[in-house]
Amino acid sequence: MTDYLLILVSTILVNNFVLVQFLGLCPFMGVSNKLETAIGMSAATTFVLTLASVCSYLVYTYLLVPLDLEYLRTISFIMVIAVVVGFTEMAMRKTSPLLYRVLGIFLPLITTNCAVLGVALLNIKRDNSFVESILYGFGAAVGFSLVMVLFAAMRERIAVADVPKPFQGSAIAMITAGLMSLAFLGFTGLVSI
Amino acid sequence: MSSILIAILLLATLAVIFGAILGFAAVRFKVEGNPIVDQIDNLLPQTQCGQCSYPGCKPYAEAIAAGESINKCPPGGESTIIALADLLGVEPEPLDAEHGAEKDAVMVAIIREDECIGCTKCIQACPIDAIMGAAKQMHTVIADECTGCDLCVEPCPVDCIDMIPIETTLQTWHWDKPEDLIATSEQSHEKNLEQGVH
């Protein structure tokens, strides 16, 4: 039980995928202009990340390992992720057309979000069990959502703030992201696994 | 050699399975029409006046969903544009003057009946069938149905149709809508934020 809790704390705060491991930066900068969009993107990514890490674990353990084909893991994981994203996209188009329109191109771009592939590969590298893989994927997604929502909220504030001209737009966003990353470094040493 | 064959077979099988899943999803989650069109259509004023150059509100809603600009609806005016911009997540633009100006008051068409020659031209022009009458008979406008779209004024050969603003009476007066609940108040809210007032 403690192990599972540690995995969650580790992936959400200590080894946060966006701010500490610098994975998935494209949606982090791209979809964080509006809080609503950021929440939608976080929800979609959470779903895809968790499901993709489960599916890729199953494919690896029950197909690749018995057949001695471990070297095919990257290509088969990419395939798994693409299918999960495609499925999510179709389901979302049916259930929430507004979110589908708001997320637009960023939804298919989850396919190439390196955090998703990163989680699947790190699961293998860390020899995670089935439950641990689910938690690892879910924790990574929650960590992603957390910084995404925090960052979007900050950017909404910055948008109405009096920013000096050379820093306006992406520049101040980059600086903010850097400061957030520094802040998250403060969690280092909180748990060690 | 055989390990390569197994690898190819495995990837092919995976691809077939995944393809089947996606194929099933495509059928299961098939979208009937475009739901966003209905949401846009709900925001349009339903005058069916055609001033946007589309033959009605629904076709204009479809055009907006396909990327048409949102500022071509004079009857809806600024409030409709802002509501549409909010729904679609785009910047509100000022009303396109080419398609007509927004009227301050709600208008209704009134036919000066003793001048009417019964030509039926206004009946054909009315997009919502709010004009009653027959050939060589006097016509009249059903005021409750009239959307004030102006389309009947132009065809009248004797110019006997007036656009009259509807005056607010004790029966039609109502309280102003609460400001915080409508989209148009968002700008003033943002202005307050800038000044640090919450």
Same-domain check for residues B124 and B96: no
Pair (B117, B89) in one structural domain = no
Average pLDDT, chain B: 79
Which pLDDT tens digit goes with each residue over B7-37? 899 899 999 999 999 999 888 887 766 678 8
- pTM summary value: 0.59
Residue A32 — pLDDT band, cuts 50, 70, 90?
Answer: confident
Residue A191 maps to a domain: no
Residues B140 and B114 in one domain: yes
Q: Is residue A86 part of a domain?
A: yes
- B93 and B150: one domain? no
* Total domains present in chain B: 2
Residue B120 pLDDT exceeds 60: yes
Chain A: residue whose CA lies nearest to B190: A160
Tell me, yes or no, whether A98 lies in a domain: yes
Vertex B38 angle, CA B37 and B44, to 5°: 90
Beta strands in B82-158 (DSSP E): 107-111, 131-132, 140-141
B96, B114: one domain: no
- B128 is a domain residue: yes
Whose structure tokens read 């353990």?
Answer: A61
Do B117 and B85 share a domain, yes or no?
Answer: no
| A135, part of any domain | yes
Q: Does A86 touch chain B (CB under 8 A)?
A: yes
Instruction: Give the whole-angstrom CA distance, residue A128 versus residue A120.
Output: 10
Q: Are residues B88 and B112 in the same domain?
A: no
The verdict on residue B7 lying in a domain is: no
Residue predicted with more confidence, A64 or B75? A64
Cβ atoms of A30 and A148 within 8 Å: the answer is no
The reply to whether B11 falls in a domain is: no
Question: What band does B147 get if pLDDT is binned at 50, 70 and 90?
Answer: confident
* End residue of a domain, out of B77, B101, B125: B101
- Selecting from B18, B21, B31 the residue whose C-beta is nearest the C-beta of A94 gives B31
The region of weakest confidence among A69-73, A101-105, A179-183, B88-92 is A101-105
pLDDT beyond 70 at B58: yes
Residue B19 placed within a domain:
no
Question: Could you tell me the two tokens for A90?
Answer: 């179709």
As a whole number, mean pLDDT of residues A60-67 equals 89
Is A75 close to B3, i.e. CB distance below 8 A? no
* Better pLDDT: B116 or A108: B116
Q: Which of residues B101, B119, B153 is at a domain's end?
A: B101
Structure-token pair, residue B162? 């007036």
Centroid of chain to Cα A22: 10
ipTM of the complex: 0.71
Q: What average pLDDT does the segment B59-86 reach?
A: 84
**Sign of the torsion formed by the C-alpha atoms of A34, A36, A42 and A47:** negative
Integer Cα distance of A93 and A108 in angstroms: 12
A34/B26 Cβ within 8 A:
no
Q: How far is A86 from chain B (nearest CA, A)?
A: 7
Domain membership of residue A190 (yes or no) is no
Domain that holds residue A146: 2-185
B26 → chain A, closest CA residue: A90
Whether residue A144 has pLDDT greater than 90: yes
Return the bridge partners of B162, or none: B110
Domain that holds residue B156: 107-165
The CATH number given to whatever domain includes residue B73 is 1.10.15.40
Q: How confident is the model at residue B74 (pLDDT cuts 50, 70, 90)?
A: confident
Round the CA-based radius of gyration of chain A to a whole number and report it.
Answer: 17
Question: What's residue B31's pLDDT?
Answer: 73
**Percent of chain A whose pLDDT exceeds 90:** 24
Say if A192 falls within a structural domain.
no
Question: How many structural domains is chain A composed of?
Answer: 1
pLDDT for residue B197 is more than 70: no
